[in-house]
């Protein structure tokens, strides 16, 4: 099923104020792969996701989802395949109840009401919040909001999930639940994050962006364990790697 692949070639983007946010970014994502995009603030992570979903239009380069090149003509077809979970759930939730938010996109697709109900309830079940169905989204906790935002996207049955900093603003328990949830999805995924432990658990491969360019693209474990590389990229090493190193030092010290 090659249609769940992503190809990005020579992608460049400049904001109207002249900020060069991305330059010469190229990579391929295989079917079912989970990829992390990491980098310091302003490295271009969110811009990349906005380009992939066609919310922004590239200044240079090409994007293809499966065999379809992203153009104005193919934008609608491509958007049906991509599900974007924005960094701020308040950008995704705007109806009076969680159910209405999840149903919104489905109704826009012109689905019959029983199908809308079925798919919305299935999505709420998949993210573990059927009990929040009738609650107003603005009254939910950060973790509940994130789950609701993911449900609005899952209900649309996308092939590819794009998640922008999904664990930001979550407490440890909500974060742990989120990691379990995302690990259970077989979708092709691109996840931007500052949370290196989440990246390590969720994404076998990582792309490091630095000032709008690809600094490195490789196996997550190897990149995150490279302290010099992490410092160069302006990233913190993962707590799990720090603990492992500390444990090794302790063991060596005892010998
Ligand atoms: N709306 C905007 N107008 C002008 N510059 C922007 C805008 N949004 C982001 N930028 C700039 O583009 C660059 C990349 O930003 P962004 O993609 O948000 O980075 P990240 O998500 O990695 O923090 C940064 O230099 C940022 O300041
Ligand atoms: Mg961002």
Nearest residue to 53 via CA among 27, 80, 23, 25: 80
Distance 133 CA to ligand 1 centre (A): 35
The per-residue pLDDT for 249 is 75
- Res. 21: pLDDT tops 90: yes
Pocket probe mutation, ligand 1, options 44, 48, 215, max atoms within 8 Å of Cβ: 44
CB atoms within 10 A of CB 143: 20
Pocket probe mutation, ligand 1, options 11, 15, 16, 213, max atoms within 8 Å of Cβ: 15
Q: Which domains does the chain have, with CATH numbers?
A: 2-85+161-254 (3.40.50.300)
Average pLDDT over residues 178-184: 91
d(CA 225, CA 65): 31
Distance 42 CA to ligand 1 centre (A): 5
CB 74 near ligand 1, within 6 Å = no
Average pLDDT over residues 90-109: 96
Contact between residue 61 and residue 8 where contact means Cβ atoms under 8 Å apart = yes
Q: pLDDT digits over 212-248, tens only?
A: 999 999 999 999 999 999 999 999 877 777 677 677 7
Reported pTM: 0.92
The per-residue pLDDT for 248 is 74
CB 17 near ligand 1, within 6 Å = yes
- Within the chain, residue ranges assigned H as helices are 45-52, 75-81, 98-108, 113-126, 142-154, 172-183, 196-202, 220-224, 227-233, 239-254
For residue 86 the two structure tokens come to 């924005």
Contact between residue 185 and residue 32 where contact means Cβ atoms under 8 Å apart = no
Distance 121 CA to ligand 2 centre (A): 30
Q: Is 42 left (phi over 0), alpha (psi -120 to 50) or beta?
A: left
Distance 102 CA to ligand 1 centre (A): 29
CB atoms within 10 A of CB 45: 26
- Res. 2: pLDDT tops 70: no
The per-residue pLDDT for 81 is 92
The CA distances from residue 117 to 82, 157, 231, in Å, are 21, 14, 49
- Res. 38: pLDDT tops 60: yes
For residue 10 the two structure tokens come to 């020579």
Average pLDDT over residues 188-212: 96
Please identify, by atom number, the ligand 1 atom nearest to the C-alpha of residue 41: 23
- Res. 125: pLDDT tops 60: yes
- The top-scoring range by mean pLDDT among 107-111, 195-199, 214-218 is 214-218
- Res. 101: pLDDT tops 60: yes
Q: How far is CA 68 from the centre of its chain?
A: 21
User: What's the chain's average pLDDT?
Assistant: 93
CB 43 near ligand 1, within 6 Å = yes
Contact between residue 165 and residue 117 where contact means Cβ atoms under 8 Å apart = no
The per-residue pLDDT for 254 is 58
CB 19 near ligand 1, within 6 Å = yes
State percent of the chain over pLDDT 90. Answer: 84
The per-residue pLDDT for 59 is 97
Distance 166 CA to ligand 1 centre (A): 18
- Res. 57: pLDDT tops 90: yes
The CA distances from residue 21 to 42, 71, 163, 233, in Å, are 8, 20, 19, 16
């Amino acid at each position: 099923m090659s249609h769940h692949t992503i190809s990005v070639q020579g992608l460049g983007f400049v904001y109207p104020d002249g900020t060069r946010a991305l330059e010469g970014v190229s990579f391929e994502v295989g079917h079912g792969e989970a990829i992390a995009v990491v980098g310091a603030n302003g490295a271009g992570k969110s811009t990349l996701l906005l380009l992939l979903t066609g919310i922004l239009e590239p200044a240079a380069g090409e994007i293809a989802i499966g065999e379809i090149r992203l153009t104005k003509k193919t934008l609608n077809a491509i958007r049906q395949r991509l599900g974007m979970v924005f960094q701020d759930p308040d950008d995704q939730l705007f109806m009076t109840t969680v159910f209405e938010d999840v149903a919104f996109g489905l109704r826009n697709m012109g689905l019959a009401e029983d199908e809308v109900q079925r798919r919305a309830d299935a999505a709420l079940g998949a993210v573990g919040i059927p009990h929040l169905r009738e609650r107003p989204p603005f009254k939910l906790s950060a973790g509940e909001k994130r789950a609701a935002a993911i449900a609005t996207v899952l209900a649309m049955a996308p092939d590819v999930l794009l998640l922008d900093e999904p664990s930001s603003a979550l407490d440890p328990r909500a974060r742990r639940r989120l990691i379990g949830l995302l690990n259970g999805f077989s979708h092709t995924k691109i996840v931007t994050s500052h949370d290196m432990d989440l990246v390590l658990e969720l994404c076998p491969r990582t792309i490091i962006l630095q000032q709008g360019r690809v600094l490195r693209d490789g196996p997550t474990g190897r990149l995150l364990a490279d302290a010099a590389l992490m410092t160069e990229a302006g990233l913190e090493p993962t707590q799990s790697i720090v603990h492992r190193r500390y444990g090794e030092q302790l063991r060596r010290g005892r010998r």
